[in-house]
Chains A and B, each alone.
Chain A
């Protein structure tokens, strides 16, 4: 297929269709409305179903029902809507259902604003809801990558029987960029048939019970360990990140950023390179599992580390965990929907090198 100029939200929606998403349930919220709008007309064209739910609480529970029948399903929302879905996501993880969730993050807390933010990093990776579970979280930095990751997300969800969340800051939803959908795309995982699905019971297989209730503590403990084994496998097999900058030798500064903030970081890195400053950048693509080891290895050859985020400091806690040694970090953020500019990053790097930047210590 030729490259087509698409808005991020529409590319995400089309990617879902290309991946065989059959049902979408959602409730309007800016800045992701183009996803449900696009799918409301597109899904019926391919025999699928779109339902505008009465709330995000309803959409996530519709998703739970539809996923239980074995169909590929997706919902999307933005920060406050994801908060409302929390209980349902926990049930889905507990019942081991494959679903794809999209969060086009906006600034909070509360109603906050509608402009780009990365303030849901903790929510995505640490505290999506009650109970001991994880979701695999993918963070694209371009529209093409968003489309690719959405398609991978369906395979990963099916393989792990677990929710997979694609998180984009608001820019990912609103930007327009060229996108290409590959026609020869193959699943990235070997996917077993969904023998567990509830499709009507003719007594030719075990009865399908889609459920997260385990009243016997020993049974629940076994279930918890089974889930943990999946999260461990994700940590072994699914870490994705990208590195930019000099491959060898000492770095003056290592930048760590994800999503569109990393694009800004790359522009700054190139300009600083021209000034003779050696800057590298690690961009986590999976937020869970987090590329701890890659960050540790790159940090080993960096004099200074700079974390940039559109939050008051959320991913930086994982960077501290990655480094293990309590090493001080530098941090730059913009909040409330304001964006980080390449100039800000360049200035910050100069401040660091001139000893004018305040260091942040953890714990």
Chain B
């Protein structure tokens, strides 16, 4: 009998998602689920869904879940983890959720060194509400609330969350990865694995920022969106590890040396 070589991870529910075709949310759901399976964590994992396109993540991951108010997932994760330190707790948040309305919660969760993992989806736009400008929208990028393109004189520059959080003294694992090619997805999974492993070992707060696409609100086909990410986001958002709990090494280690700022 033929042996299946590609199966649904146990940590993913057997349902179809509501995500747009070609949206990278699907890729990152799968990578998180594979990591939970491989580390044997599913049974003691509780996820926290944000408000954003991934608001229904509780239907897609096959573990207990909380659905948080917009931006507050790191506070909800803190509550869960402090109540039951034996649980593996992760939040899954978009850039409007984490870097705009939820800025205080993410900074203080990281600064307290909560032993939780934050999966941060940076798609440079507000997906769910229809393509408004996010704190991560690129200079000149068109969004429904900056129809002439983001004007940095009025809106400032995009916030680099991985760099910002890694300035905190509290030990943490902070990395940025991307999903625009299979090779990058493999690297992203490695970052997620390290993040969850540090949590499982009770070491530190961990956050992986994942560069993502929103073909629908960027107004381009999925393959073109991947190229747009590579050309426009990668130079501004360098990939790599920004901080590890072992101390010291905060230098980014990009897998594409030429993709630097």
Contact = CB atoms under 8 A, between A and B. Distances in A.
Contact of A69 (B67, B75, B83): B83
Interface stretch (B39-47, B129-137, B172-180, B249-257): B39-47
Contacts of B83: 22-23, 49, 65-66, 69, 71, 73
A54 B76 contact: no
B186 interface: no
Band of interface residues on A: 35 or more
Contacts of A211: 58, 65-67
Contact of A68 (B45, B56, B66, B107): B66
Given A207-B64, A211-B58, A55 B104 contact: yes
Contacts of A67: 79
B67 A88 contact: no
A198 B82 contact: no
A53 B63 CA distance: 27
Band of interface residues on B: 35 or more
A210 B67 contact: yes
Given A49-B82, A66-B80, A88-B69, A58 B108 contact: yes
A201 B66 CA distance: 13
Interface string A174-211: 00000000000000000000000011111000011111
Contacts of B82: 23, 49, 51, 62, 66
A65 B75 contact: yes
Nearest to A87: B69
Interface string B46-82: 1010000001101000111111110010011111111
Interface in A32-91: 49, 51, 53-55, 57-59, 61-69, 71, 73, 87-88, 91
A353 B112 CA distance: 62
Interface in B172-230: none
Contacts of B108: 53-54, 58
B37 interface: no
Nearest to B44: A200
Given A61-B105, A68-B80, A201-B62, 16 more contacts: A22-B83, A23-B82, A54-B105, A58-B78, A61-B69, A64-B72, A65-B78, A66-B83, A69-B79, A198-B65, A198-B80, A200-B87, A201-B42, A209-B64, A209-B66, A211-B65
Nearest to B45: A200
Contacts of A55: 104
B169 interface: no
A49 B72 CA distance: 20
A121 interface: no
Contacts of B80: 65-66, 68-69, 198
Given A49-B82, A54-B104, A87-B69, A65 B77 contact: yes
Nearest to A207: B64
Interface of A is mostly: mixed
Contacts of A202: 43
Contacts of B105: 54, 57-58, 61
A73 B76 CA distance: 13
B117 to A, nearest CB: 14
B84 interface: yes
Given A200-B43, A200-B44, A61 B67 contact: no
Nearest to B49: A211
A201 B36 CA distance: 13
A110 to B, nearest CB: 21
A17 B83 CA distance: 15
A59 B69 CA distance: 13
Contacts of B79: 23, 25, 61-69, 73
A212 interface: yes
Nearest to B105: A58
B123 to A, nearest CB: 21
A213 interface: yes
Nearest to A67: B79
Interface in B27-44: 42-44
B64 A199 contact: yes
